């Protein structure tokens, strides 16, 4: 069963049918991998003062310092079991900025003990956040992370510890594509990261 079905229970069926297909990669099934391609209308950090710090985070493939419009991107999702045998979903996003390609990695794991989704961000996975998943009244997926913590590892991002992330994803019937909108907001600084755009997606055979 997919990590999102486990997290949402009966609420999963309230998502748009296209979203159910997108979020239903099953680590125990044959449909466990998908690929998307699209363009972010805007992507990056709007605050120049934070960009040196985000350059360091980019080495871990967790955040990025660029800020640009019309950024082509790809996403590859792969459902699997983690080292502890728990259902997990890995995602690799590749963003083609002008003159620079950035790669972001994360792994979302279902924690059966706490009954919550945990998203481990970056190649090291030391930045972890709990995800709340709900279906909006219009069938859109809404993902919210309010609790972020650092796990033991080489990366230290104390300035972003109090950041919260808000994501909304939906199927745009008029365009025949998915749309996504994400903001990461820090209490003192405001919006520290944003990306918004559209993409096509298919499950790999």
Rounded (to 5) percent helix, strand, coil in the chain: 15, 50, 30
What pLDDT does 29 receive? 83
CB 65 within 8 A of CB 55: yes
- Dihedral sign, Cα of residue 189, residue 180, residue 103, residue 105: positive
pLDDT at 16 over 60: yes
pLDDT at 66 over 70: yes
pLDDT tens column, 120-136: 988 888 778 899 999 99
pLDDT tens column, 139-180: 999 999 986 666 554 444 555 456 789 999 999 999 999 999
CATH class of 3-203: mainly beta
**CA separation for the pair 147, 52 (Å, rounded):** 24
Model confidence, pTM: 0.89
For the chain, give every domain's residue range: 3-203
């Amino acid at each position: 069963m997919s990590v999102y079905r486990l997290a949402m229970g009966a609420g999963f069926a309230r998502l748009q049918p296209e979203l159910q297909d997108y979020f239903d990669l099953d680590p125990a099934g044959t449909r466990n991998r998908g690929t998307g391609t699209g363009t972010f209308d805007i992507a990056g950090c709007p605050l120049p003062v934070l960009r040196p710090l985000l350059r360091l985070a980019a080495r871990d493939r967790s955040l990025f310092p660029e800020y640009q419009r019309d950024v082509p991107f790809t996403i590859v999702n792969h459902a699997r079991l983690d080292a502890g045998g728990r259902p997990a979903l890995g995602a690799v996003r590749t963003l083609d900025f002008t003159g620079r390609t950035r790669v972001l990695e994360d792994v979302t794991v279902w924690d059966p003990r706490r009954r919550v989704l945990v998203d481990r961000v970056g190649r090291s996975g030391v930045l972890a956040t709990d995800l709340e998943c709900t279906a909006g009244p219009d069938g859109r997926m809404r993902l919210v992370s309010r609790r972020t913590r650092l796990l033991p590892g080489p990366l230290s991002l104390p300035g972003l510890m109090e950041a919260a992330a808000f994501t909304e994803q939906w199927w745009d019937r008029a365009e025949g594509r998915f749309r996504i909108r994400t903001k990461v907001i820090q209490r003192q600084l405001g919006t520290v990261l944003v990306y918004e755009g559209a993409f096509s997606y298919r499950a790999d055979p």
